[in-house]
Amino acid sequence: MIETVTLLTFIPAALLLNLTPGADMMFCFGQGLRSGAKPALAASAGISAGSFVHVLLAGLGLGAVVSTIPWVFDVIRWVGVAYLLYLAWDAFRNGNLPIENDVKPTRMAFRDGMVVNLTNPKVILFVLAFIPQFVDPASGSILVQFLIFGMIIALGGFVVNGLVGVFAGGAGKVLVSNPRASRIMGWVTGGIFTALAVRLAIMERT
């Protein structure tokens, strides 16, 4: 099992990382503006699920493939760029969706959040750089330790990103009744997704 002192060191470090503004937080903010609080929470849950998959892959050793084979990194990255641009185009074209919080937008938001996270190869590289600092082979299964640390990161990210999305959803709900404001929010959301795509496109492997 993981020693208590290790957990007490890891949890604050993970929380600080969760609070650092980044692509996941901006995605949830854009999702909240566009579709409301529930889809934003679903997007945050999807992002956390994606990050946990990254942790699982890293724990199994598959993350080393991404870090050592350039074309694997690039394929994943460009799939992510294409998906973000698709989301941006949809936001530009359709503007803000009605704030109805029905099942379909919520389910789609979870899918979008998970896909966006899984197609960001920097996440698994970060996992490979961060979590091993706290893993102790003498404490038991390395994979189990990876999964425990990954769960902590995923839960913290869900709360932080979800709160950001809920805040944005509240603002969107106030403005959505105004057609002009709704259209502007669609362009803002599209701009956020486009900026995230550009950021992913120009990132370097190291």
Give the whole-angstrom CA distance, residue 165 versus residue 87: 17
117-134 burial code (b ≥16 CB/10 A, e <16): bbbbbbbbbbbbebbeeb
Give the whole-angstrom CA distance, residue 74 versus residue 71: 5
CB 13 within 8 A of CB 151: no
The predicted structure's pLDDT at residue 36: 85
pLDDT band at 101 (very low <50, low <70, confident <90, very high): very low
DSSP 123-149: HHHHHHHHGGGG--GGGS-HHHHHHHH
Average pLDDT in the 100-127 region? 83
Looking at residue 178, what DSSP letter applies? S
Side chain identity, residue 26: M
Give the whole-angstrom CA distance, residue 65 versus residue 30: 32
CB 54 within 8 A of CB 127: yes
| Residue whose entry in the numeric block shows the structure tokens 């701009």 | 191
- Does residue 175 surpass a pLDDT of 70? no
CB 98 within 8 A of CB 176: yes
- What is the SS3 assignment for 96? coil
pLDDT tens digits for range 160-169:
999 999 998 8
DSSP 1-43: ---HHHHHHHHHHHHHHHHS--HHHHHHHHHHHHH-HHHHHHH
pTM of the model: 0.83
pLDDT tens digits for range 36-84:
889 999 999 999 999 999 999 998 888 777 777 888 888 888 999 999 9
